[in-house]
Structure 1
Amino acid sequence: MGLKRKVLPKIHPKFFWDTNFRKLDWEKAYIPIISRILERGGQNEIDEIIKYYGREKIVETILKEIHFLPNYAIDRAMDFFPELKKEDMHCYINRKDKPYHWI
């Protein structure tokens, strides 16, 4: 049985200006890729990563594996994926800017 290669998402290299786009490992680097697209991409880029990773993997990654997203990206994630609630997102629950009660 031969290995079936996934077709890479059609995403402009400008979204990954700080890395060598041609050497990007789409399988291993899925967390920073999904984060970057949530922060900077539009509906077309979201559609492309959904085609590549699948909606379920992206939602699970947002909920459990992304450690930080700026507030605007959390809001965008909920716009793109209405099933998400910020209170369930790891990146929201563990925010450094939440008020803390000091002893």
Structure 2
Amino acid sequence: MTIFDEYKTYKGEVEISPSLLWEYDLSHFDWWKTRKVVVQRIIERGWLTDFYAAFKLYGGIEGFREIIKEVPSLSPRDMNFVCVAFDLKREELRCYTRKLLRDQLLSS
């Protein structure tokens, strides 16, 4: 059982909390173009209903999972969370490979 098992049976209306994207004008917001920012904010600060809204917006859990792989930066704690919750390996995450490259560059 995962924390997102209820998603398929959830009947309530969901929308992404505007407070997650406080600096953007949401009346002219391109949800697809800025998908990495949206997903990053939801992972970092979102509620369960924010996840559900993003699943609905980005093609279900699988679509959201693919966007997670593209997110440029996440904290170690958030990386661990997405790896466990979405059955990902760290090496699949751009934020992890970028961190490894940065650490490698700084240590040389």
TM-score, structure 2 normalization:
0.71
Count of aligned residue pairs for this structure pair: 93
1:12 aligns with 2:17: yes
Corresponding residue for 1:56? Answer: 62
**SS of equivalent residue, structure 2 residue 52:** helix
Paired amino acid for 1:93: T
Residue 99 of structure 1: how far off its partner (Å): 5.4
Name the one with the larger helix percent: 2
Other structure's SS at 2:103 match:
coil
5+ residue gaps, structure 1, are 1-8
- Aligned pair in 2 of structure 1 residues 28, 52: CA closer, same or farther (>3 Å)? same
Runs of 4+ in 1 over 6 A off after TM superposition: none
The CA deviation string for residues 11-34 of structure 1, in whole angstroms up to 9 with x for no partner, is 221111111122221122111111
Whole-angstrom CA distance in 2 between matches of 1:72 and 1:23: 32
Aligned to 2:97: 93
Provide the rounded CA distance (Å) in 1 between the counterparts of 2:48 and 2:102: 28
State how far apart, in whole Å, the 2-side matches of 1:62 and 1:20 are: 23
Q: Structure 2 unaligned runs (5+)? A: 1-13
CA offset digits 1:56-93 (Å, max 9, x no partner): 22211222x21111222212323431x11222211111
**TM-score, normalization: structure 1?**
0.73
